[in-house]
Amino acid sequence: MTSHQTPREAALATVRDAAPWPGSDERFVGYGVMGLPFRNGHYLALRHYVATTIGPGYRTVWHRDPGGAWSFYSGNEPEQSCPRYFADSPTTHTVHANIDLDWVGPYELRVTIPDVLDWRLELASTPATATMSAIGRRLPVSAWRSQAFLKAMEHTARPLMRTGRIGLCGSVPNGQRFGLAPQRLWAVTASSARLHGSDLGDPGPLPRQDRLGDFWLPQRGLFAVGNAEFETFDPTKHRTVVTSDRRG
């Protein structure tokens, strides 16, 4: 990847060359919106993992309502997508849905779930994201796999990115350990979203930053390309998906 790639170019390159890092744990490669808060308490996130070791690649949209309840929209079964790790509450909904991604420009992405969601994003490189991307591109895989290094990155990124707390490693709600490697970053500079016909309002920090396990939800919109790893599921140590299912 070159330093001047647009987010569309970086995302499409990841699709073409999809290959999780070597290893024996649960590994993912792809891109998405780490998170985008809305001032009225809604929250959206996107994952397009183009290749994984737990099943076929998938797309998923996360939604948090102002009351703190989560819904995970995905075309894969919950055990083969993000609810595997994050759906640890009977108030969490998993929704089977087809998610369409359309790059309408080098820095513009539209995310749609027919009859459910129309989400538009404008992205840009900023001095902060350019700095973090320059670091991320040059790091060896061994650094990204170091929990000590990821903790140091969390402390570095927090004031630089102005996102509140950052969670690059730790435990997800079902108990599995995780590590995130956002090797390329862009800022979400503008966004609009309608969910079930309702406008989610203006992007802006949540009144109180939320988290899922040790994954803190960024208080500013970030788009990332990179890798993720989770320790191998062990039914004697980790909890299985607990959700209330519904159809999209």
DSSP state of 30: E
Cβ neighbours of residue 30 closer than 8 Å, sequence gap 6 or more: 14, 18, 47, 48, 49, 50, 51, 57, 225
Q: How far apart are CA 193 and CA 110, in angstroms?
A: 10
pLDDT tens digits for 195-239? 999 999 999 999 999 999 999 999 999 999 999 999 999 999 999
Give the pLDDT band (50/70/90) at residue 1. Answer: very low
Report all structural domains of the chain as residue ranges with CATH numbers, in order of start. 7-232 (2.40.400)
Between 29-33, 100-104, 157-161, the lowest mean confidence (pLDDT) is in 157-161
User: What pLDDT is stored for residue 3 in this prediction?
Assistant: 55
Q: How far apart are CA 52 and CA 57, in angstroms?
A: 6
Position 78, amino acid: P
Strand ranges in the chain using DSSP code E only, listed in sequence order: 26-37, 43-52, 58-64, 70-74, 88-96, 100-105, 108-113, 117-124, 169-171, 177-195, 198-199, 211-212, 215-216, 222-230, 242-247
> Chain centroid to CA 42: how far?
16
> Chain centroid to CA 14: how far?
15
pLDDT tens digits for 121-160? 999 999 999 999 999 989 999 999 999 999 999 998 899 9
Pair type for strands 70-74 and 88-96 = parallel
Give the pLDDT band (50/70/90) at residue 241. Answer: confident
